[in-house]
Chain A
Amino acid sequence: MKKILFFLFFLKLSVNAQSVKKMPVNVSPVITSLLQDFSSTVKLPDEKLVVLMKYIKNQERIVLQEMKNGAPILKILNLFVFEPDKVNQLIGAKPSDVYYQKGNLNISEISYALLFRDRLKIDDVQIEQLLQLNQKEREEKIAIIRLLEIMGSNRTNKLFELIYAKEASDWAIRDWRKFKDFKITDGLDSVEVYNLIYNYRCKRLACHHFYTKTGQEDSVAKAGFRHSTTDLPRVFLKALTPGKYRTYFEKSNLDEVEAIVKKNWNDIRLLGLGNPTDSTRVKRDLRNYEMDSRFAGNMVFIENSLKSVFVRQDLVNNKPEILKKLEKVRSNSTNDKF
C-alpha cells in the first residue's frame, strides 16, 4: 500500500510540483525537493524513482546525523553530492547523462535551502512555500527571486555562502600558499588569515552567483548582494599588515613591471635619450617609479581617500626626467618644426 502511494506521488510529481501537498508524511522536504530536481530534468519510471529516493533518503540520514554531530560545513557539502557514477548505477546511464548535462550544480538552491533549513532558521511556512514552487520557479534565475521573496535577502545570502563554502575554502588555501611562496607568512596567524579570506571569498562567490544568475542590478542592491573589486585587496591588506602587503604586491607585479621597464629602456636607447652606461641606474629609477606608481594607484583603489590620491600625485610630480622625456617624444606629432 505504501509503495503504491509513493508511485502515485512520484507520477504526479513529475507532472506538477503542486502534488507535493499529497506527499507522504515520512518524506522529508529535502527528499521531496531533490526528487523534484531530478524529475524536472529526467523522466524516470516509478521503480527507478523509488530506488533513487531510497538512496537520497539514506544520504540525507547520514548528512543530518553529521550536522547533528556538528560536522564542518565542508564535510556536509561533501556528503551532499550525487556523484555521476552512483546516479548512473541507480537510474541507468542514459537518464543520468541527461541529468548531468544540466551542469555541475545539479542540486537546486531550493534543495540546499531545505537541507540547511535549521542553520538558516527557515520556519514551516517558508518550507511549505519552497516546496510549492513549480518547475519553472525552480529554474535558477527565478528560483533566486523566489528565495528572496520567501526567505529574505539575509537568509538567501547566507544560503549561497554555505553552497560556496568549499570553493571559498579552496581559494583561501590557495592564497595562503601564495603568501608562503612569497615568504611573508612569518608571524601571521594562519587561522586568522584563512578565516579572513574564506569569509571574503564566501561573500564574493555568493554575490557573483546571485549577480550572474539574475543580472538584475536593482535586485542586487535590494538584496544586499554588494561587492566591490576593492574588497579583495582590502582583505589582503588587513590579513597581511601593510609591510607584508607591499611585499606581496611587489612580487605579484614584478613580471609586468619588468616588462614595462624593458620596453621603456629599449625606447630610450633607440631614441638616443640615454647611454648604455646609464643602464643600471636608469633601469633602477624606472623600476622604482613604475612599482611605486602601481602601488600608489592600488592604495587609491583600496582606500579611496584624498590622501592616497595626493601620494600618487606626488609620485607623478617627481617622475624621473628620462621618463618625462620619453613620454614627450612618444606623444609628439610627427611634424617637423617647419
Chain B
Amino acid sequence: MIVKSLKKFQQDLPPYFIRVSQSFIVNPLFIEKIDKKKKIICLEGNIQVPFTISLKELIFLIGNREDTPHNPIKSSLNYIMKFALIPIVVIFLFPVSGTAQKYFDKSSLKINLKKAGKNSNELIRTLAYFKKSNDPLKYEAAGFLIANMDIHSSNNYYWANESDEDIKFDELSFSDFDQAVKKIKELQENQTISAVESTTPDLEFVKSDFLINNIEQAFDKWRASLYKDIPFQDFLEYILPYRTSIEPVQDWRNRYAGQFKWISDSAKTVPFKTLISYVAAEYKHTFSFGSKPSLPNEPLLRLGALQLLLRKTGNCDDVSGLTVFELRSQGIPAAFDFISFWGTTSGMHFTNTAFDVNMKPTYFDITRGEIFEALHREPAKVIRTTYSKQKGVLATLEKNENIPPGFLRRFNYIDVTDEYWEAANLTCPLLNDGKNKIVYASVFNSGDWQPTWWSKQVKNNVTFSKLAKGVVYLPCYYENDALIPAGYPKVLGFNNELVLKPDVDQKRTVTIKEQEKYLKFRPGKQYDLYYWDNEWKLFATQTAAEAATELKFENVPGSCLFRLIPEYSQGKERPFIILDEGTRIWY
C-alpha cells in the first residue's frame, strides 16, 4: 500500500522522470511513441499511459532535459523496463515509510544510477534484491556502495593483438604466476601483442551478482564475528567495500574467507594486538615485499586481490591492500593508510590500521612485520582511505585540474596524521595578500617540493591543520601545473617553529661536519652549498681537502635552509638547518 503522494515520490526519483498526469510519472527512456489525439503515451512493453499535461510541455520535458540520460542506453535497460511506470519503481526501490536513509546520500545514488549508463540495470537489480530481502541494513549497504561508486575505478590493462583486439589472456587462470609469464612470452614470440592500459569506472563495470555476493558475504562474516556490534557506519567503511583503492576489482571474498580463516579462529583466543602481530608475521612468512613481479611491459599500478595471492609479493601499496582484504574477509574492520610523502626522506609508504571490537585502532606496517605505536620517522601527512566520499575534501571545493596530481584530487580520504605522529597546526606567513586562495603545504621529497596538504589563504597568512612535527614545510600555490612558492619554508619542530627566510644582515660562518650515515667528504671532490630563497641558490663551492672532516663557509646568510650537493650527487641530499649554536638538523 502506497501512502506517499506522487509529488513526494517524484522528489525521490531521478530528475528526468516526468509527471504526466495526476496519477502517473513516466520514465522518458521507455517512451516509444505519443498518441497526441488520444493523449496517450505508449511505453515499451505495450503499456499505455494517459497524459494530461500539454503536448508542448511533454515534448519539452522529454527532449530538452539536460539531465536525461541519452537514449542509447535504453535498449539495454530491460530490467528497468518493468519500472517504467513510476508507482512500481517507487514501491520497489525506495522506502515507502518515513525511514530516511542514514548511510548514503539519495541524490548521489540517483546520479550514479544515471551515470552508470548501460550498467545501471545491474545496480538497480542489486538494490531491488536487497529491498526484497527484508534486511534494511543490507539495502543500506548496497545504497552506500552504489552512492559512492562514482569515485572508484580500476586501473587495469588488457593484452591486445595487432588489430587492437583483446586476446583474453587472464593470468588468474594459471595456478602459478611463472607459468602465466611463460605463456605470455610464448604468445609474444608468435604474434605482436601489447599491454593496453585501461581505466574502468566501477559504475560501468560492477555487476549485480558480484555486488550481491560481496554484500552477503561481508554481512555473514561480520555478523558471525566478534565485531557484530560495531557501528554500522564502521562496517560500511572498513568491512563492506569490495575494493581498497585503484586495483582491478576481483571476486576475492570467498577465497580469502577460506585461506585466512585462521585469523577469525585466532581472534577468539588471543588478544587483538597479538592477533594483528600474527597477521604481520604470517605475511612475512608467506609473502615477500619488493618490486611486484610483472608480466612483460605490464602497465599495472596496483595488484588486485587475487593477483596478490597468485604472485605472493608486491610493493608496500599492494601488500597493504592484501592485509585489508585478509582482515575484511574475516569480518574485521581494516583500513588502507598511507604516508603521502615522508617529511624527512624520499618516497612514500603504505601502512594499515586494524580496529578492535571497540574500534580502537592498532597500527601496523606489514612490510616490516610489526605493529607500532608511532612511525619510525617523520611523515608529512598520514591519510586513511575510505570507500565513501568525504565532506570538505579539497576535491569538493576545487576543480581537479587546479589541484596538484596525487591524493588531494580524490574524494575518499581522511587525515589521520595525529594518530600516527605528533602533529600541530602551522601558520605560515605568505609573500602576498590573498583571499581564499588555495595554498599547499609542501615537503622536500625526492629532490623537489611535493604538495602534501592544503588550506585557504587568509590575508597574508595560511594555517595548515595537523601537520607532522619535525618537518620543514614550504607554502606554495599551484598554477599552470606547477608549484609556485608562496612564502618561505617553515620548520614545524617538536618544540620550536622557525621561518627560514635568509637573513643577509646576520651573516655568519657555517661549519658543515661529517656525520656517520649522513655525510662523508671525499677528498678532491667539489661540494656546492645551496640555500633556499624562493629557489635553490648557489652560495659557494668548496673542494674537500685530504682527510677533511668539515667544510667551512664564511658570510653565509642567517636563518637558511641549506642543501650541500657533491659533484657525485644522485639527487638524494636532504636539506638541513644549522642553528646559531652550531647544531645541524636534517630534514
Interface residues of A (CB under 8 A from B): 300, 306, 309-310, 312-314, 316-317, 331, 333-338
B568 at the interface (CB under 8 A from A): no
What B residues does A331 contact at CB under 8 A?
A: 376
The smallest C-beta distance from B158 to any residue of chain A, in angstroms, reads 31
What A residues does B285 contact at CB under 8 A?
A: 300, 306, 309
Given contacts A333-B377, A334-B586, 4 further A-B contacts (CB under 8 A): A313-B278, A317-B273, A337-B494, A338-B470
- Docked Cα-Cα span, A276 to B221, in Å, equals 54
Q: A300-B285, A333-B344 are in contact. Are A338 and B277 (CB under 8 A)?
A: no
The smallest C-beta distance from A171 to any residue of chain B, in angstroms, reads 30
The smallest C-beta distance from B18 to any residue of chain A, in angstroms, reads 61
- Chain B residue at minimum C-beta to C-beta distance from A333: B377
What A residues does B494 contact at CB under 8 A?
A: 337-338
B260-304 interface (Cβ within 8 A of A) = 262, 266, 273-274, 277-278, 280-282, 285
What A residues does B470 contact at CB under 8 A?
A: 335, 337-338
- Chain B residue at minimum C-beta to C-beta distance from A318: B274
Q: A331-B376, A337-B470, A338-B496 are in contact. Are A310 and B278 (CB under 8 A)?
A: yes
What A residues does B280 contact at CB under 8 A?
A: 313
Determine whether the beta carbon of A310 is less than 8 Å from that of B281.
Answer: yes
- Docked Cα-Cα span, A223 to B493, in Å, equals 63
What B residues does A336 contact at CB under 8 A?
A: 583, 585
Query: Chain B, 486-517, contact with A by CB distance < 8 Å: what is the 0/1 string?
Result: 00000101111000000000000000000101
Interface residues of B (CB under 8 A from A): 262, 266, 273-274, 277-278, 280-282, 285, 344, 376-377, 470, 491, 493-496, 515, 517-518, 579, 583, 585-586
- Docked Cα-Cα span, A241 to B451, in Å, equals 61
What A residues does B495 contact at CB under 8 A?
A: 337-338
Determine whether the beta carbon of B586 is less than 8 Å from that of A306.
Answer: no
What B residues does A310 contact at CB under 8 A?
A: 266, 278, 281
- Docked Cα-Cα span, A333 to B516, in Å, equals 11
- Docked Cα-Cα span, A306 to B282, in Å, equals 7
What B residues does A317 contact at CB under 8 A?
A: 273-274, 277
Q: Considering the complex of A and B, which 9 residue pairs feature the smallest CB-CB distances, nearest first?
A: A313-B281, A337-B494, A338-B493, A309-B285, A309-B281, A338-B585, A313-B277, A310-B278, A335-B585
Residue in contact with B515 in the complex, picked from A314, A316, A334, A337, CB distance below 8 Å: A334
The smallest C-beta distance from B287 to any residue of chain A, in angstroms, reads 12
Q: A333-B586, A337-B495, A338-B491 are in contact. Are A316 and B262 (CB under 8 A)?
A: no
- Chain A residue at minimum C-beta to C-beta distance from B518: A334
What A residues does B281 contact at CB under 8 A?
A: 309-310, 312-313, 316
The smallest C-beta distance from A336 to any residue of chain B, in angstroms, reads 7
The smallest C-beta distance from B424 to any residue of chain A, in angstroms, reads 13
What A residues does B585 contact at CB under 8 A?
A: 335-336, 338
Highest count of chain A CB atoms <10 Å: which of B277, B280, B285, B517? B285
25 CB-based A-B contacts, threshold 8 Å: A300-B285, A306-B262, A306-B285, A309-B278, A309-B281, A309-B285, A313-B274, A313-B277, A313-B280, A313-B281, A316-B277, A316-B281, A317-B274, A317-B277, A333-B377, A334-B515, A334-B586, A335-B585, A336-B583, A338-B491, A338-B493, A338-B495, A338-B579, A338-B583, A338-B585
- Chain A residue at minimum C-beta to C-beta distance from B376: A331
The smallest C-beta distance from B380 to any residue of chain A, in angstroms, reads 15
- Docked Cα-Cα span, A334 to B587, in Å, equals 11
The smallest C-beta distance from B344 to any residue of chain A, in angstroms, reads 7
Determine whether the beta carbon of A314 is less than 8 Å from that of B496.
Answer: no
- Docked Cα-Cα span, A334 to B266, in Å, equals 40
The smallest C-beta distance from B335 to any residue of chain A, in angstroms, reads 22
The smallest C-beta distance from B302 to any residue of chain A, in angstroms, reads 27
Determine whether the beta carbon of A335 is less than 8 Å from that of B586.
Answer: yes
What B residues does A337 contact at CB under 8 A?
A: 470, 493-495
What B residues does A312 contact at CB under 8 A?
A: 281
- Docked Cα-Cα span, A314 to B281, in Å, equals 10
What B residues does A306 contact at CB under 8 A?
A: 262, 282, 285
The smallest C-beta distance from B16 to any residue of chain A, in angstroms, reads 55
- Docked Cα-Cα span, A335 to B377, in Å, equals 11
What B residues does A316 contact at CB under 8 A?
A: 277, 281
What A residues does B493 contact at CB under 8 A?
A: 337-338
The smallest C-beta distance from B371 to any residue of chain A, in angstroms, reads 9
- Docked Cα-Cα span, A300 to B369, in Å, equals 15
- Docked Cα-Cα span, A300 to B470, in Å, equals 40
The smallest C-beta distance from A140 to any residue of chain B, in angstroms, reads 29
- Docked Cα-Cα span, A324 to B290, in Å, equals 26
- Docked Cα-Cα span, A167 to B586, in Å, equals 58
Q: A338-B493, A338-B494, A338-B495 are in contact. Are A309 and B282 (CB under 8 A)?
A: yes
What A residues does B496 contact at CB under 8 A?
A: 338
What B residues does A314 contact at CB under 8 A?
A: 274
- Docked Cα-Cα span, A317 to B262, in Å, equals 19
- Docked Cα-Cα span, A334 to B585, in Å, equals 8
- Docked Cα-Cα span, A265 to B515, in Å, equals 25
The smallest C-beta distance from B326 to any residue of chain A, in angstroms, reads 13
- Docked Cα-Cα span, A317 to B370, in Å, equals 9
- Chain A residue at minimum C-beta to C-beta distance from B283: A309
What A residues does B262 contact at CB under 8 A?
A: 306
- Docked Cα-Cα span, A337 to B496, in Å, equals 9
- Chain B residue at minimum C-beta to C-beta distance from A337: B494
Highest count of chain B CB atoms <10 Å: which of A300, A313, A316? A313
- Chain A residue at minimum C-beta to C-beta distance from B285: A309
The smallest C-beta distance from B189 to any residue of chain A, in angstroms, reads 18
The smallest C-beta distance from B67 to any residue of chain A, in angstroms, reads 55
What A residues does B344 contact at CB under 8 A?
A: 333, 335
What B residues does A338 contact at CB under 8 A?
A: 470, 491, 493-496, 579, 583, 585
- Docked Cα-Cα span, A313 to B266, in Å, equals 14
What A residues does B491 contact at CB under 8 A?
A: 338
- Docked Cα-Cα span, A310 to B377, in Å, equals 28
What B residues does A333 contact at CB under 8 A?
A: 344, 377, 586
What A residues does B278 contact at CB under 8 A?
A: 309-310, 313
What A residues does B277 contact at CB under 8 A?
A: 313, 316-317
